[in-house]
Amino acid sequence: MKLTSIKESGKLAILGGKPVFNSLIPMVRPSLPPFKGIENRLKETFSSGLVTNAKYVELLEKKIAQYLNVKHAVCVANCTLGLILGIKALKLKGKIIVPSFTFCASVHALIWNNLTPIFVDCHQETFNIDLTSIEKYITKDTSAIMAVHIFGNPAQVEELNKIAHKYSLKVIYDAAHAFGSSYKNKPLAGFGEMEVFSLSPTKVLVAGEGGIVATNNKRLADEIRIGRDYGNPGNYNCEFVGLNARMLEISAIIALENLELLPERLVKRKKLINLYLDNLKNIPGISFQKIEKDSSSCYKDFAILIDPAKFGLDRNILALVLEKENISSRKYFFPPVHKQNAYEKEFIQENLVNTNFISEHILCLPLYNHMKEKDILNICQIIKKAYQYAPSIKEKLS
């Protein structure tokens, strides 16, 4: 990819200049291992014919349980099915408190279990479930709180457990974003009844498609193992109505190799994040997700919030400025789940002030482990220029 260097005087593409990138910078690219690292295991799998739920899935479960420091890690085909099976196995009933500022799959998993989502607001700085809004929604029908570590930022695990204890609720985590994150130097597992991670292509640890249910509860782990195989305990006399949610050996082989590479990738990722933060922090009207001091985020996504009054442009126009330069960006999560067509009409809507505000002002910028540092510098420079030339951009678009 050839780069046109941005001169101070160079025009933004939206104002008629040449785009800074001549091919598209995507939002993410999956972190795959070098093919050589997986070649032998793939060959072995092909010749054995054992392509699903066999020895490499078992090995991955062992390695991941070690990494996460939990008793059980169960591999499943993806995080969505892991959540659906886990929630079913926990026999949750009635109403479940869940943030609306999340990916749709968190809530879909509740609906597939005939549960009622009670949407609560998120915190305006951390973007995670807002504790102050939880208690007022707890009723006698509430059986659990589902929290999500948004973009890898650890939710308030200790406080959530306190609230859950007080009202005899279960806490479950959609930890789809959080492989590689930690709280007080501990990986984000073992805090709730279960944590469900995603290993899909946009996540930090990639299997291709895949999910992990982490738990210290043996009964739960056993039930998910049966549940991922239709509910069949091995004798074709199904114990309950399960699913096919088995993980492919190919996915496990990819994930095993990626797990080895993860520590160095997390270091690189941190460096990229710091580059973004350092180069954007002095631009008026831009703020970042707050990570609390005991927390470390894997930054599944790097998000900025745009205050149009101070920045001069709203996030939709900034997205357009970036698009003209061949830079992808994503309004994520917009719309929030409670405003999506599938949910809006059916569930009671509260005014989720922070959720609505953040979803209307947020923009996620490109980030992947092997991204070039100078690409980030160029993206930051474009954003700075968008701020400087905001009046001309607005005039041009009017």
Ligand X SMILES: *Cc1c(COP(=O)(O)O)cnc(C)c1O
Binding site for ligand X (CB under 6 A): 78-80, 102-103, 105-106, 148, 174, 176-177, 198, 200, 211
Please, what is the minimum distance in Å from the beta carbon of residue 106 to ligand X? 5
Please, what is the minimum distance in Å from the beta carbon of residue 47 to ligand X? 29
Residue 341: helix, strand or coil by DSSP?
helix
User: Given the complex with ligand X, which of 174 and 314 has the nearer CB atom?
Assistant: 174
User: Given the complex with ligand X, which of 83 and 386 has the nearer CB atom?
Assistant: 83
User: Given the complex with ligand X, which of 133 and 251 has the nearer CB atom?
Assistant: 251
Please, what is the minimum distance in Å from the beta carbon of residue 355 to ligand X? 14
Please, what is the minimum distance in Å from the beta carbon of residue 313 to ligand X? 28
String of DSSP letters for 165-229: HHHT-EEEEE-TT-TT-EETTEES-SSSSEEEEE-STTSSS--SS-EEEEES-HHHHHHHHHHTB
Residue type, 162: K
User: Given the complex with ligand X, which of 242 and 312 has the nearer CB atom?
Assistant: 242
Please, what is the minimum distance in Å from the beta carbon of residue 42 to ligand X? 22
Residue 202: helix, strand or coil by DSSP?
coil
Residue 150: helix, strand or coil by DSSP?
helix
User: Given the complex with ligand X, which of 20 and 148 has the nearer CB atom?
Assistant: 148
User: Given the complex with ligand X, which of 78 and 258 has the nearer CB atom?
Assistant: 78
Burial class (CB in 10 A: 0-12, 13-18, 19+), 34: exposed
Please, what is the minimum distance in Å from the beta carbon of residue 185 to ligand X? 23
Residue type, 70: V
Please, what is the minimum distance in Å from the beta carbon of residue 378 to ligand X? 27
Q: In what order do the strands lie in the sheet with 295-296?
A: 186-187, 182-183, 295-296
Q: Tell me the C-alpha to C-alpha distance, in Å, between residue 192 and each of 145, 171, 295.
A: 10, 5, 17
Closest CA to 149 of 180, 111, 184: 180
Which helix (H) or strand (E) covers residue 120, if one does? strand 116-120
User: Given the complex with ligand X, which of 369 and 378 has the nearer CB atom?
Assistant: 369
